Structure formats: structure tokens, C-alpha cells
């Protein structure tokens, strides 16, 4: 049994025009000890889905239906104190702007120790001083240099690596990475991805890795989930999704991004039409733009079966 299970999760944001259905009936079991990449165009609900796990949703978000089970307990039902204990101990998040979220008036050492103290542990006592050193070394930083430094004395990439070390300090079983390298330059992106790969090998932590970078997916991910308009349209081993995407949307998404080998990239990402989240379709929400659409697709919503939510997947007549 997987540790993190989404069961028919429906999340909406209340806005003046109505309700924006950002997560629309997602059911998924996150493979334990593996790296799962979550891909899909901007606005497809990746951040909403992952923030829900850590109970970090905006105040106008509403849970309409479903559960998020972590070791069998619905995190959506946790009280404030339980949420506090869940974060960092069980699951942590590194987001794109984490590198800018450090307090400029405290050294990084103080902030790492505060993070431990905030979660009810004594940072001066074993195992922490050593654990902090060990984690900094794992993200290839020199503790002697980083611990006394102020945030502004490190580069963005170095700060992002401190954020990764910090997220791991209380031994969480799950690490969510929401576009962790997007704000960095290309060389640094690649270096941080390399570090994430090492961190995964060394700690075995389950990773949910949200990204637009397919090269990073190819490099890091064991499994890939593809989201479109709040729905999980495909979930399968990474190689299978990358080489033989079965949902027509996955195929269009992969074709829209230039590949490392220079093939593809003929179709601009903007050519994919975004579904109307204020009025979710009763059928498949990709039907209006789908080259393989049938009558049934407009009326009936396909469930995720054998890793794909489609009545007529690619590769079948």
C-alpha cells in the first residue's frame, strides 16, 4: 500500500465568477521510494494538488470531495497542531521561490537550527548538529562556509540547495518539489537536478517533482503523472510516458516541447487550448482540441484505467 493516496479529490477556488475547479477528481497512489514527476501546462492544477497535501491552500480554496490519505489518515481532516507535526516530520516542500524565503536578518545556521527548534527538537543535541552537516554535504555545500553565512552571501542556487537540506532535516518520508530549479540559470538547474538525484539515492525519500522540464523528467523520474485542466489524464512509468504517451493530450504536450535531440517542438505550447475550469466538461475536457475525439468523449468522462484516462488512447484504433 502506498503511503500517499489521493482519492477522487476535487478542489475549487471560490472567485467572483463562481468556482474554479482546479483539481477535478484526481485519484493516484504515489509509488513509495520513487520519484514521480507531475507535468502539465500552466494552470493544470499541479501546485494546487501538491499544496493540498501540506495543507497550504489559499484561503479561498474549498475541498469539494475526496481524501488525501497519508499512511491511511486523511490529511484534510488534521487539526492545526497535527498539521504542524505533519509538515517537515512526514512531508516537506521545496518550492521555486524557497531560495528567496530565507530571513535576511539571520544566518543560515540560525535558520536551520530554528527550523529544528520550531518542530519541538533541540538543534544543539544529537543527532542534529551532525545531521545538519551531513545534509549540507549531501547538497554539496561546505558547512563551515554556509552555516555562518547570511542569505545574501550565497548564490540563488546555493540557497536553493540549503532549502533542500532544510526540508530533509527532520527525516520526512515525502519530499514535494514544486519547480525547484525554475528560478535558476541553466547550468545551475542541471547541477541542482544532479544533487536531487543523489539525495534520492542516498535517502530513498519519496519525491513528487513538479516541473515543465522534460529533460529533468527523463533524468530523474521513475513515474510520470500528466495533468490537464485539473484532471490526471495519464499515470505510468516515466519511460512509457516519454516514449509512447497514450493520452492524446500527453502526446500533444510532449510534442510541444523541443526534445534534447532536437526533434519535436514543432507545435507551440500556446496551441494547446486551456479548458474552462469555471464550467468543467461532463465529458473529457480535452475533447474540444483532441485529434482522436469521438462522440462519446463529449458526453462521458473517461476514468483512469491502465494508466490512461481516454476512450481511444494513442496506439489503439
Residues that bind ligand ATP (CB under 6 A): 13, 15, 20, 22, 40, 42-48, 58, 60, 277
Q: Closest Cα partner for 36 from 51, 48, 21, 46?
A: 46
Judged by beta carbon distances under 5 to 8 A according to partner kind, the member of Mg ion, ligand ATP, none in contact with residue 229 is: none
Q: Closest Cα partner for 168 from 141, 125, 139, 145?
A: 139
Instruction: Return the CA Rg of the chain.
Output: 20
Nearer of residues 40 and 151 to ligand ATP, judged by Cβ = 40
In whole angstroms, how close is the CB of 42 to Mg ion at the nearest point? 7
**Which residue's C-alpha cell is 516537506?**
92
User: Quick check: 302 and 310 in contact, CB under 8 A?
Assistant: yes
DSSP class of 194: H
Interface positions with Mg ion (CB under 5 A): 47
Nearer of residues 41 and 154 to ligand ATP, judged by Cβ = 41
In whole angstroms, how close is the CB of 4 to ligand ATP at the nearest point? 17
In whole angstroms, how close is the CB of 315 to ligand ATP at the nearest point? 26
Nearer of residues 34 and 269 to ligand ATP, judged by Cβ = 269
Nearer of residues 51 and 173 to ligand ATP, judged by Cβ = 51
In whole angstroms, how close is the CB of 174 to ligand ATP at the nearest point? 18
| Residue 221 Rama label (left phi>0; alpha psi -120 to 50; beta) | beta
Judged by beta carbon distances under 5 to 8 A according to partner kind, the member of ligand ATP, Mg ion, none in contact with residue 288 is: none
User: Quick check: 109 and 166 in contact, CB under 8 A?
Assistant: no
Nearer of residues 42 and 105 to Mg ion, judged by Cβ = 42
Judged by beta carbon distances under 5 to 8 A according to partner kind, the member of ligand ATP, Mg ion, none in contact with residue 91 is: none
Judged by beta carbon distances under 5 to 8 A according to partner kind, the member of ligand ATP, Mg ion, none in contact with residue 58 is: ligand ATP
Q: Closest Cα partner for 204 from 38, 34, 37, 88?
A: 34
Nearer of residues 116 and 233 to ligand ATP, judged by Cβ = 233
Query: DSSP secondary structure string, 130-148?
Result: HHHHHHHHHTT--HHHHTT
Distance CA 57, CA 310 (A): 29
In whole angstroms, how close is the CB of 26 to ligand ATP at the nearest point? 11
Amino acid at each position: 500500500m502506498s503511503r500517499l493516496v489521493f482519492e477522487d479529490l476535487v478542489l475549487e477556488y471560490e472567485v467572483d465568477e463562481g468556482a474554479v475547479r482546479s483539481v477535478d477528481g484526481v485519484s493516484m497512489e504515489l509509488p513509495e521510494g520513487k520519484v514521480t514527476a507531475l507535468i502539465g501546462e500552466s494552470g493544470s492544477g499541479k501546485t494546487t494538488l501538491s499544496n493540498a497535501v501540506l495543507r497550504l491552500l489559499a484561503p479561498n480554496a474549498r475541498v469539494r470531495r475526496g481524501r488525501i490519505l497519508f499512511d491511511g489518515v486523511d490529511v484534510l481532516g488534521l487539526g492545526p497542531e497535527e498539521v504542524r507535526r505533519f509538515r517537515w516530520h512526514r512531508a516537506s516542500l521545496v518550492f521555486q521561490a524557497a531560495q528567496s524565503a530565507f530571513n535576511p536578518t539571520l544566518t543560515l545556521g540560525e535558520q536551520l537550527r530554528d527550523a529544528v527548534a520550531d518542530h519541538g527538537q533541540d538543534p544543539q543535541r544529537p543527532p542534529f548538529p551532525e545531521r545538519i552537516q551531513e545534509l549540507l554535504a549531501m547538497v554539496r555545500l561546505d558547512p563551515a562556509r554556509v552555516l555562518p553565512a547570511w542569505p545574501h552571501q550565497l548564490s540563488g542556487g546555493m540557497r536553493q540547495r540549503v532549502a533542500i537540506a532544510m526540508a530533509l532535516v527532520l527525516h520526512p518520508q515525502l519530499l514535494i518539489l514544486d519547480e525547484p530549479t525554475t528560478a535558476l540559470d541553466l547550468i545551475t538547474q542541471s547541477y541542482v537536478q544532479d544533487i536531487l538525484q543523489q539525495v534520492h539515492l542516498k535517502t530513498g525519500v519519496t519525491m513528487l517533482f513538479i516541473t515543465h522540464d522534460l529533460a529533468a523528467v527523463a533524468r530523474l523520474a521513475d513515474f510520470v503523472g500528466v495533468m490537464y485542466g485539473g484532471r490526471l489524464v495519464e499515470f505510468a512509468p516515466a519511460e512509457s510516458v516519454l516514449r509512447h504517451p497514450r493520452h492524446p493530450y500527453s502526446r500533444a504536450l510532449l510534442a510541444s516541447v523541443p526534445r534534447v535531440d532536437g526533434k519535436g517542438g514543432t507545435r507551440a505550447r500556446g496551441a494547446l487550448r486551456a479548458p474552462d475550469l469555471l464550467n468543467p466538461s461532463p465529458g473529457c475536457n480535452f475533447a474540444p482540441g483532441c485529434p482522436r475525439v469521438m462522440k462519446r468523449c463529449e458526453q462521458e468522462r473517461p476514468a483512469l484505467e491502465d494508466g490512461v484516462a481516454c476512450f481511444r488512447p494513442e496506439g489503439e484504433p
